[in-house]
Structure 1
Amino acid sequence: MSSRSGGRAVLGAFAAVAMFLLAACGGGPTSSGTAPDTGGDGAFPVTIEHKYGSTTIPAKPQRVVTLGYTDQDAVIALGTVPVGTSEWYGDQPGALFPWAAEKLGGAPLPTVLPVSQTVDFERVAALAPDLILALYAGLEQGDYEKLSAIAPTVVPPAGVPNYGIPWDTQTEIVGTALGKPAEAAVLVKEVKDKIAEVKAAHPEYAGKTALVANQFSDQWYAYSTEDQRGRLLTELGFTVNPEIDALAGGQFSTPISFERADLIDADALIWVMFDSEQEPKVRANPSYAATRAAKEGRDVFVVPTGSTGLEPMIGFLTVLSLPRLLDALPAHLDALLDGDPATR
């Protein structure tokens, strides 16, 4: 699996880490790891097209392994508990945050595969999967082919950058793979309706600029609209500086030099960090201190152990976490947009 190596690589899979790094349909999951079969709405076999070709799933999956760092949420939302998940950040039991764990319904926790720059094929095979999902991931074609020898493996569609699959596309693909495309469509619609409600309730977001950024290894990174976070801001009505997208070149983020603090200046700036030690480093930077975001209190720093109410959802956007984030985010955005440091 690609590790988002270099600044951009580590940042993606991990900077969302830094970011944090940063209602399931049907009955509750059983101890076998799958929800009671209510007939479903999808026929098998089913074939899913993706960037490495296509994958045919011959029958309804019973043992799902999620290698994509956030894929487990969509699987659980559709009534199946994976037998294996991938650790990203947070050190949660089963690699499940509360919004997913609360839907287990007594089913056993998944086996957690530790975060790594390479795929542990033996550990994956030992879980005896009949479906492997690597959607929010950076799986290389050679690894895809090796995994496909273990079980049908699904990766993102063509044209989707590593770690850039939209949450709705992720959910719809999982729905197809599990034989529940109609249920997936309902879940997606519910979240999209909530996004639209927030946007409608805040017309002041239109015409304002917003950005999610990170500092990692003494380097700034800005998230483009190919990233979940940047994409959400635009869906709420904000504008992300088009220069960020141009520099990112279709990828989820781009490094920003300290000399170009103007590129990260915004009406609302959300920093997502590994730890609380990063904020004073950013604020001590003369280039950043001169920005309007810094001077007018238009920034907020979010760390995994923080208490802003945005963690850990801001770095883990899924069909299950988004409703919680959308409940918490507007108050923070309003405080940033008023330009008063006292309300930050």
Structure 2
Amino acid sequence: MVHRLSILVILLALLAACGGQPATGAPTNMPAATNISAATSVPAPTTAPTSVPADSAAFRDTITHDRGTITLERPAERIVVFSEEFTEIMIALDLAPVGVALWRNEPTGDTFTQLPYLDQPIPGQPRYIDGNTPNLEVIAALRPDLIVYHDYGGEAGDTLYASLGQIAPTVAYSGGEVGGWKRAIQGIAQAADRVPQAEQIIAAYDARVTALTAEMAPIVQQAPVVTLLLSGIDFVGVFDARFAIGGLMQTLGFRLAVPEGTVMDESGYAAISAEILSAIEADSVVTMRFEAEKAHLADPILSTLNVPILTTEIYEGMGYTGPFAEVIHLEGFAQAFRDHYLVAASTPATTRTVTDDLGRTVTIPANP
């Protein structure tokens, strides 16, 4: 862990500041369902929003989002934001939300000030809102002048978006795909008058992705096909490129393969039996592990495969997209390959042996 760093180098330097504890549970890109508390009517705020700053008279701006446009007459100052992914954006822009509606984290009190996988606190003392069952009365009482909604679509999503729009101007972004947070950060920055900062963050992210992709290129040439698993003590699942985390692996240049006979759902994920892992045909297997120190359901089958098994950890409360989460995942993937393939490539030969993360010695092809 390191100390908090300047927003100007947030994505390049904060990676070293990110930490966390292994999490438990299965993955979610979006909440499975949302129940809206007090959805039948939206109470009006009891007091007016804060007064318009004198220097904001000429601010008027129109923000385009995934469901349309809104026009603001002054920079947004009281923002309620949905999801851990979009809360990362508030941290990156050094904006203090008045409320955060989170899917994967719960507070010890009414406020929520720290995503567990980052050293950097959320600016201010935002009120916690359960993103899975958002209470509209609580949101309205915060007197927001902007709501940033992480849009997962469907009938429930349509209803919630409409209800939020009765409280305050609301922008909606899906953000579930790789880099989808860029639309959200641009919209939030435009609304809060932080456009230069957003441009710097996006540029830093793009530069880091470009550097990692270039570093991985020789390994991709050597071992292009990867099976990407999610592994726990009592379950195993597999991703393809439609799921955000699979898309991140593909961003590095690798091609994803799933075991023969696997039926993927429309999100790009499938829970599978450990036995089907024997049908894997890939150059390497990367397992994202919950409770990494424990024996996993998949380990006995994986140990029989004659390909390197590489591992990364899932951190508590972290999703798969967002300006920090994506870099953390990409760096984790890159480090797993560095630890094995770059070491293996140091000695000229037609084949090489490596010790993988299950402690096995495995023979792999040499670099072309």
Percent identity over the alignment is 16
Structure-2 separation of matches of 1:324 and 1:169? 20
Residue 122 (structure 1) aligned with residue 141 (structure 2): no
- Specify which of 238, 243, 246 is matched with residue 230 of structure 1: 246
| CA displacement, residues 154-207 of structure 1 (integer Å, 9 cap, x when unaligned) | 2226xx7x6777233333333333343343222111111111112222322324
Structure-2 separation of matches of 1:154 and 1:48? 8
Bigger helix share: 1
- Specify which of 191, 203, 215 is matched with residue 189 of structure 1: 203
Runs of 5+ unmatched residues, structure 2: 1-25, 32-52, 345-352, 359-368
Report the Cα offset of residue 127 of structure 1.
1.7
Q: How does 1:130-209 map to 2 (within 5 A)?
A: 130-135=145-150, 137=152, 140-156=157-173, 166-207=180-221, 208-209=224-225
- Specify which of 61, 85, 92 is matched with residue 100 of structure 2: 85
Runs of 5+ unmatched residues, structure 1: 1-9, 16-36, 306-311
Contact 1:227–1:253 (8 Å) recurs in 2:
yes
Larger relative CO (CA 8 A, sep 6+): 1 or 2? 1
Contact 1:90–1:304 (8 Å) recurs in 2:
no
TM norm structure 2:
0.64
**Cα distance change of structure 1 residues 326 and 258 upon mapping to structure 2, 3 Å threshold:** closer
Structure-2 separation of matches of 1:317 and 1:150? 27
Contact 2:65–2:187 (8 Å) recurs in 1:
no
- Specify which of 330, 335, 354 is matched with residue 331 of structure 1: 335
Report the Cα offset of residue 142 of structure 1.
0.7
Structure 1 stretches of 4+ moved >6 Å? none
| CA displacement, residues 121-166 of structure 1 (integer Å, 9 cap, x when unaligned) | 1222222211111237566101111111111222226xx7x67772
Aligned to 1:63: 78
Aligned to 1:269: 286
**Secondary structure, counterpart of 1:134 in structure 2:** strand
Structure-1 separation of matches of 2:323 and 2:30? 20
Report the Cα offset of residue 325 of structure 1.
5.2
**Secondary structure, counterpart of 2:84 in structure 1:** coil
Bigger strand share: 2
**Secondary structure, counterpart of 1:12 in structure 2:** coil
**Secondary structure, counterpart of 1:187 in structure 2:** helix
Structure (1 or 2) with the larger CA radius of gyration: 2
Code of the aligned partner of 1:225: A
Aligned to 1:5: none
**Cα distance change of structure 1 residues 136 and 142 upon mapping to structure 2, 3 Å threshold:** closer
* Length, aligned pairs only: 292
**Secondary structure, counterpart of 2:97 in structure 1:** coil
**Secondary structure, counterpart of 1:94 in structure 2:** coil
**Secondary structure, counterpart of 1:155 in structure 2:** strand
**Cα distance change of structure 1 residues 65 and 12 upon mapping to structure 2, 3 Å threshold:** same
**Cα distance change of structure 1 residues 333 and 181 upon mapping to structure 2, 3 Å threshold:** same
Contact 1:12–1:253 (8 Å) recurs in 2:
no
Structure-1 separation of matches of 2:251 and 2:85? 20
- Specify which of 96, 104, 112 is matched with residue 115 of structure 2: 96
Code of the aligned partner of 1:101: Q
**Cα distance change of structure 1 residues 325 and 301 upon mapping to structure 2, 3 Å threshold:** closer
Contact 1:85–1:94 (8 Å) recurs in 2:
no
Report the Cα offset of residue 229 of structure 1.
2.0
Contact 1:13–1:88 (8 Å) recurs in 2:
no
